[in-house]
Each structure stands twice: as structure tokens, then as C-alpha cells.
Structure 1
Amino acid sequence: MRDHRVNPVDAIWLTMDRVQNLMVIECVMFLEGPIDRARLDRVVQRRLVEAYPVFSRRPVAVGRRGTRMRWRDVPDFDFADHVREVRLPAPGDAAALQAYVGGFLATPLPRDRPLWEIHLVEGLDEGSAIYVRLHHALADGIALTRVLLSLTDPAPDTDEHGADAGVARPHGVGHLVEAARRAAPEVSSALRPARVWASTRAAVRTGLSGVGVLGKLLLTRNPPSAVAGDAGAHKRAVWSDPIDLQLVKDIAKGAGATVNDVLVSALAGALERYQVERGERAVDVPTMIPVNLRPGHLPLPRELGNRFALVLLLLPSGLAGAVERLEETKRRMDRIKRSPEPVITFAMIQGIGRLGRRLSRLLVTFFAGKASGVTTNVPGPREPRYLAGTRITSLLGWVPGSGDQTLGTCIFTYDGTVRIGFKTDTAVIPDPDHVLAAFHAEIAELTQALEAAGRR
């Protein structure tokens, strides 16, 4: 058996599993009908296990104190051990699937085998589903989304012809990618006075902005609210039906905003409404947003690993009025895009990974305590995709929270639709379906407000 080095950043996530928050990325693929198990096995073997070696390795602790982590090859690895089939009892509706997924959100992945598993879920009233669990130590959520999309094809029979068209082709799975590039101005080697002066001004602006970012990261607090508290072990997952993406685009166009602005604003509005419903005065709620730092046009490396940054967004859920929340969301998002925050947080993550297990845990917990949870907004493929010949109707995926974070939000656009999903800690947010209903109400209010403005 061979051992392989664990990247220091990946090692952070290997040691961060806790009862209240596991470092597991949870994904759900909704399928139009049943799936051919033999075809799926061939696709998984070829495009997952053979393409990325970490899926056939398990983590082991080495050294006298067992503080160093290594990946160890599993010589008798059989990926069939990682695939389970289940049939839900009638009526097999969305609530039944949500309950099934929720039953695993607090279940650790076994450490005596590679850190992933696939559930084939049949018995649904509409089609079937694939539920995938992947440990964060394998790779960041953005990379693993690309890995899962590499299992899919643009046509139902592509995989049967032996073509692996989906493996290396990049998919649109990042957002705010350009922020990191803009945040690190290039200093020209030319010595022309104009260029030297421009570079100097850019460096000063970046330095001042960096001081502001560090102050934000150190001083931001997660205020007391209906979505903050001590996390427990039990979680729930709920999600919406597919929403017409054109509706969101129309709102964005009418408001001079982006689709991402509208969806994040709707999240802020949902949390404002939920706080008021719980009898509290609504306050702004901080959330963390992952930022992809990999070149989107290049294939993923075979060793995968984590290469991402985080930005801290204060959702304007303390404001009253959907239009006002959208305007403020756009302003705050634009400010983050122009800042060096992704570069700074990426450097911090790299540094934390080299400080040892105990100190890393303390620092990750410290920074995790500044947000209610993590929000991902993933622009998926614009055209339908097929998994082992079966059409995918929509997708969802949650990255893990840390410390006492209580609210994970996933927004996934795909084939002209968007789904919103919430993963909540039931000790703090026992009724995530209320947050989901509030999200829909916010979208409706934005639509009505912009229609009224158009008539005027």
C-alpha cells in the first residue's frame, strides 16, 4: 500500500469534522426516470475512480502522535461498496426525499474507506434521484461540482459510445472568479513614468483596501438572531421546485442588477421575513460565499484538492422592502468584486493549513463564528445533461458549515431553471420550510414591484 501526501489545506478539512457540523458536501441530482445501474457503474469507474486517484484512497494518521495525515491506496478497492440502492415508501414525494437526505446530514463518512458514497433513490413519484456525499478533504465544492458534472453527457447515448466528452470540458460552476484577478494588479516591468505612477496608485489602493478587508474579517460578528445559536447534531434539508430562470433574469434586467444579485437579495429578504415571523427585529445576517480560484478554462488536476477562497457578505436582511434589499445587495456585492478579499482569504486558508491541527481548528472556528453559514450560487449547464442515459432535471449541492454555523444555502441554475435549497440546524432553525416560503414571497414582491414601476 502506498501513501500519498495530504495537502496542508486538505488536511484542515480532514480534522474539522464535529458532531454539530461534518465536513461533508451533499449533492442531489434529480432524474427524469430510473437509471441503468450497469451503465452508471461503468461511468463512475471510468470518469470518477480512474480519473481522480483520491476516490480510491483513504485517509490515515501517521507519525508518533498521529498528527500528520496521508492518503493511502486501497488495494482491494471496489467502488460498488460505495453505491447503495434504496426505494422510498409511498408516496415518494419531495418531503420523503428530503427526510431521507436529512437522515444522513449528521452521519460521518467511514474513515476506513475512501470518503464518498452514492445513493440511488427510487420510488419517487416523479423520476428518481442520485444523492452523493463527498468529504471536503477530497476537493472544494466548486471542483467537486465539476467532477460530478463530468459524469454527465450532452446526449443520452454518449457514454455508450465510449466517449468521455464530459470529463475534461469545463462547466460554468464559479462566480466572482474575476474578483481575484482584479484584486491583484500587475506591476509592469516597463519604467515609463505613466506606468510607474499607475502601478503605484494601484498598489496603494490595493493596500488600503486590504487593510479594510482584514478589519472586516476580524471585526465582523454574527449578531443574535433567529438564525444564530448553538448548533446541535440534527439537520434538515428542504428545497424548492424548479423556478423559471427567465423570471429572475427579468427582475435583474428591470433593476439593473445581475441574476446573482437578485437571488442573493431574495435570500436576504427570506431571512428578514423569517426573523419578523419569529417575533424578532430583523438584523443583517452575515454569510460566507466560496470563490473559485481555478482557471475555469482548464481541466481539473488529477489530484484535485482544495483551491478556493471565501468572502464574507453581510446580507441586508435588516432592511425593509424587497427593492431596497436588492439595491443594497448589488452595492455590497459590487464592492466585494472590486476588493482583494478573495486573495487575502485564500492566503489565510493556506497559512492556517500549515499551523498544525490544534491551532488550525481554533482559527477555523474563530472565523466560522462570524457567519450564519455558507451560501453557494452555482451556474450550471445551460442545456440538459444526461447521466448514464437518463436526463437530469435539476441539481442541488451544499458545502459544509463549520463551528456553530446553522444555515447552508444552495442556489443552482440549470437548463433554464433555478432551485433554492436550505440545510439548517434544527436546534436553531427547526422550520426551514418557512425560510423557503419566505424566499418565494421575496421573489414575488420583487416581480410585483418592478411590474408596478414599469407601468408607472
Structure 2
Amino acid sequence: MVQRTSRATRPAAAPPRPRAATASNLATTLGLEGERMSKVDTAWLRMDSATNLMMIVGVWILRPGITLEALTERVSERLLPYRRFVQVARQDAAGAHWIDDADFDIHRHVVRHVLTRQRGHSEQQALQARVGTLAMEPLDAQHPLWRFELVERYDGGSALVARIHHCIADGIALIGVMMSLVDGGALPPKRKARETKSGMDAAEDWVADTLIRPFGDLTARALEAAGGGAAKSFALLASPQQGLSDSLGQAVELARMGGQLASDLAALALMPDDSPTRLKGQPQGSKRVAWGQPIPLDEVKAIGKALNCSVNDVLLGCVAGAIGAYLKQQGDDPKGQEIRAMVPINLRPMEDAWKLGNRFGLIPLVLPIGMDNPIERVYTVRSRMNALKGSLQPLLTFGLLSVAGLLIKPAQDAMLSLFGRKTTAVMTNVPGPATKLKFCGATLEQTMFWVPQTGTVGLGVSILSYGGGVQFGVISDSALCPDPQQIIDAFEPEFAQLLAVTLMLPWGVE
């Protein structure tokens, strides 16, 4: 531990790289390729555009504050053993590959920032402005595609802004990585080696129990419904070593599934356009970020129990109401309108829970933003979510991303523009630990993250339960939604209205 501490605090020193780095550097010197990138990860690498960068952006609010030295030490110990965080993504004619960064410097990736506040703005507004700026600031492609920025003095503590390119991993995998960073966390092999459960072990269990299993259940039902052909096809798609011939063979397997597969594929291809709201259009590449104070999770659960709905149904119904209320504030009439949000669904089996890379599909959820009755909205969301159970659409979207990774960029852009034309928002809904975690001795008070929007999608919504509360956040293109805080501010009144109406219902009534 002493050796690691002195290394991380020396300005010019670099952390040790994995043992395989020597072989990889030799291969690069000889003109050979490094480790091949999976087709899905390659698609994400090439999906950056002038208006949307493919970065997952997260914010941690910590109290009391932490130092840059402590952060650097923790990252050196816990993050860098994941090889992707010391590797460079290199594109080539066949796709892309990973090579170790011969010039890696931890101080290029872990930095400090001092917030500047405009007159009349709060610290939170200053931080939101900074996060919005960072969301459209490209990562350095000559080095590993991630960066942590520490605001050492923020609201009586510190704020940590993390940016990680989507080609490294999806949100589910990165949650596991971030759990390695918190106090008491450890690298995956050490987790598996433990025989007794500590408090930290219990906190880590939520990753498997509330993320991997529930989201994987939807896919498991789809695979069971489709039979062995679907499972074989998914295995082919998921393998990063498969080439064009396997992809063609996989397409044949998909074609043989028939029935539900044909129906789901047609549903994806023939999705009607969204209602033409001000939230849909051509983004300009300037981002705005907003979040509010958490609402009590127990109240959300109480509403769900009273209405015989899931927590997700309740929250998504409130999101739909908040977006509708925002449009009304802008002078629009959302009555009868609906927008489509793409919701990521995990396709990662339990044994691969700690691996990096992208293993998720997308389902299109239509939100009834023009429905005034809050209970009717929740039941509509519940009905639509239930209709998606057993759907092969997550598997199909994963397959489309795999195929997209094989194509030249113009063809990839043309294929993926389908989602941009048919979608207004990307929405994530992730359950987190019930108790607050510690990081470098400080309490992690609030946590938010946003996944990237693709193509012409200009709105991202995140819902994250953590420490007994539910955190709601929005990221938007300023040309489509210049003040996302107005959507945030509409969320709590919508929730309060739903709670009040629910309390007035007679027991046993749905």
C-alpha cells in the first residue's frame, strides 16, 4: 500500500500496466493488431457525432470533501487493473482493436477543476453548466477514453464528474466497476474469493439481485419463447471473435425463428414517428444538464403497492406527466400526444456480470405525455411494459448494433438513423443500493448518470434510486430544450399529485 501511495502522488509517475502490456506493445511495434474489439463496441466507438458524443457521464456529490491525491490513489488501485482503462482504441479497416497506452499518465485522466459561478447562480447551477460543457467535450482519442474531474470545494464537500466512452462498457458493467472504487470494494476476483459476507458484500449484492437478474429476465423469456435458435444466435452475436461469416450465419438463424421474431422485427422497422413536439428536431451540439433533490423511495413503493404496479411503472408515469407539463408551460398542447423513449435492457448473464464491453438491447417504450389523469398514465405505462415482456426486441437491437459494427461508417449511420427518427428520448431506470456508500472516507450523498443519445435524439432521462431516495435527472440539447430544469421541477408536483390521488382511492380499487 505504501508503494502504491507514493506512486500515485508523484506528478510524473505512471501506474504499472498489466503484464500483457509488453506483448501488446511488441505486437504494435511489429505492425500487428492488438486485442480485437467486439463488433458492438466498435459500433459505439464510431457513433460519435458533432451533436452527440457517446460518453456515459456521471456525477457524485461527496461530503465531506476529498482531495485529488486521495482520488488518484483510489483510481490507481481499483480502476487501472481493469485493462480497458489503460488501453487505447484504434480503428482500422477491419473494425477496431485495443492496444496498451505506452504513454499512459494517470494525471492526464484524473484532474481537478475550480467552478466559476455567474452572478446570481447557485453552486448547483454552476456544476450543471460544467457537466453540460463536459458532455460535449471529446475525450482524447490518443489515450484511454475516460476522464475524472474533481471539484474539491462544492457545497460543503466535493463533486466528481466522470466521463467514460461507451465503447469501454455499458452502464450495467460500469456500475460494477464503480462499486470497486467505493470504500470496502475490491476487484472482481477478490469478490469471488470471499467466503464470508461483510457489509460491503451486502451492498454489492444489489448489482446482481436488482440489476442483472430482473433486466435479464425479460431477455430470458424472449429466448425461451424463441427456442434454441435464438440462444445460438445471441451467442454468435455476443462473441467478439466472430467475423462476417458468422454474422451471416447468425442472420440465417434469426430468419428461422419466425413467428414472434418476424413480428418484433416488423414492429421495429415500422414504428410510427413520434408526435412532433419541440423536444424532437435537429440537435445543435450544446448540452444542458439538470437534476433535483431525491424523493422518498418508500412513498414510491407505497403508491406501487396501492395501485398494484411496479416502482418503474410509477416513476415512468411521473416522467411522462412531467414532460407533458413542461410542454404546457411552453404554450404547447400535448393532449393526445405520445413520445417514444428507448430503454436499455441488460443482456448480460450472471457469470459475465463483472465483464466490460456492451451487452444490452433496447426496447421502445411509448410514454403517454398527453394524458392528464396521473393514475391512468401509470396504468397505461404498466400495460405497455407488460406487453414488452417476452419480446425479442432487445435481442434484435443488440443484433443491429453487431451488424452496424461490421459496416463502414456511412452505412452504420444510415442503419442507426432509424432510432433517431423514431425516438425522442433515451431513458435509463436503475435501482441502486438502499444505504449510502463511502468513498475515500466521505459519504456519497447523491449520484446521477446519463447515457449518450444517438443520432438526432436530443433528450436523455435518468432515474436512479439510491440511499432511500429516487434521483431524477435530465440532459438535453439546448436547441431542443434550453432549460431542462423546468422538466425536473415539474416531476415532483406530478409525483405529489399521483400520491394525493392514490391516497383518496378506496382500498382494493385499481
Shared fold (TM-score, shorter chain, > 0.5): yes
The structure with the largest helix share of the pair is: 2
- Letter paired with 1:180: T
Gap change, CA 1:420 and 1:70, over 3 Å in 2: same
- Letter paired with 1:367: F
Q: In structure 2, what is the equivalent of residue 182 of structure 1?
A: 221
Among 399, 416, 421, the residue aligned to 1:364: 416
Contact 1:88 1:122 in 2 (8 A): no
**What pairs with 1:27-426 in structure 2 (closer than 5 Å)?**
27-50=58-81, 52-63=82-93, 68-89=95-116, 93-153=123-183, 171=207, 172-174=210-212, 176-185=215-224, 207-220=258-271, 221-282=273-334, 283-296=337-350, 298-301=352-355, 304-426=356-478
Q: How high is the TM-score relative to the length of structure 2?
A: 0.79
Secondary structure of 2:59's counterpart equals strand
Gap change, CA 1:278 and 1:212, over 3 Å in 2: farther
Gap change, CA 1:255 and 1:228, over 3 Å in 2: same
Structure 1 residue 297 displacement after superposition: 6.0
Q: Relative to structure 2, which stretch is displaced further, 75-84 or 307-316?
A: 75-84
Secondary structure of 1:123's counterpart equals strand
Count residues in correspondence: 428
Q: Relative to structure 2, which stretch is displaced further, 172-181 or 258-267?
A: 172-181
C-alpha distance in structure 2 between counterparts of 1:281 and 1:92, whole Å:
32
Q: Relative to structure 2, which stretch is displaced further, 164-173 or 237-246?
A: 164-173
**What pairs with 1:5-24 in structure 2 (closer than 5 Å)?**
5-24=36-55
C-alpha distance in structure 2 between counterparts of 1:444 and 1:227, whole Å:
25
- Letter paired with 1:33: P
Q: Deviations over 1:371-415 (max 9, x none)?
A: 112100111112221112211112111010011101100111111
C-alpha distance in structure 1 between counterparts of 2:95 and 2:63, whole Å:
45
Q: In structure 2, what is the equivalent of residue 203 of structure 1?
A: none
C-alpha distance in structure 2 between counterparts of 1:233 and 1:95, whole Å:
20
Contact 1:169 1:299 in 2 (8 A): no
Q: How many percent of aligned residue pairs carry the same amino acid?
A: 34
Structure 1 residue 169 displacement after superposition: 5.0
Contact 1:58 1:112 in 2 (8 A): yes
Gap change, CA 1:85 and 1:173, over 3 Å in 2: farther
Secondary structure of 1:120's counterpart equals strand
C-alpha distance in structure 2 between counterparts of 1:387 and 1:40, whole Å:
9
C-alpha distance in structure 1 between counterparts of 2:265 and 2:323, whole Å:
26
Secondary structure of 2:140's counterpart equals coil
Contact 1:257 1:330 in 2 (8 A): yes
Contact 1:34 1:128 in 2 (8 A): yes
Contact 1:382 1:415 in 2 (8 A): yes
Contact 1:248 1:262 in 2 (8 A): yes
C-alpha distance in structure 1 between counterparts of 2:295 and 2:469, whole Å:
5
Root mean square deviation, CA, Å: 2.4
C-alpha distance in structure 2 between counterparts of 1:308 and 1:352, whole Å:
15
Structure 1 residue 136 displacement after superposition: 0.7
C-alpha distance in structure 2 between counterparts of 1:22 and 1:13, whole Å:
10
Structure 1 residue 146 displacement after superposition: 1.9
Unaligned regions of 5+ residues in structure 2, if any?
Answer: 1-24, 29-33, 195-199, 229-256
C-alpha distance in structure 1 between counterparts of 2:354 and 2:296, whole Å:
31
C-alpha distance in structure 1 between counterparts of 2:421 and 2:472, whole Å:
24
C-alpha distance in structure 1 between counterparts of 2:350 and 2:472, whole Å:
24
Q: How high is the TM-score relative to the length of structure 1?
A: 0.88
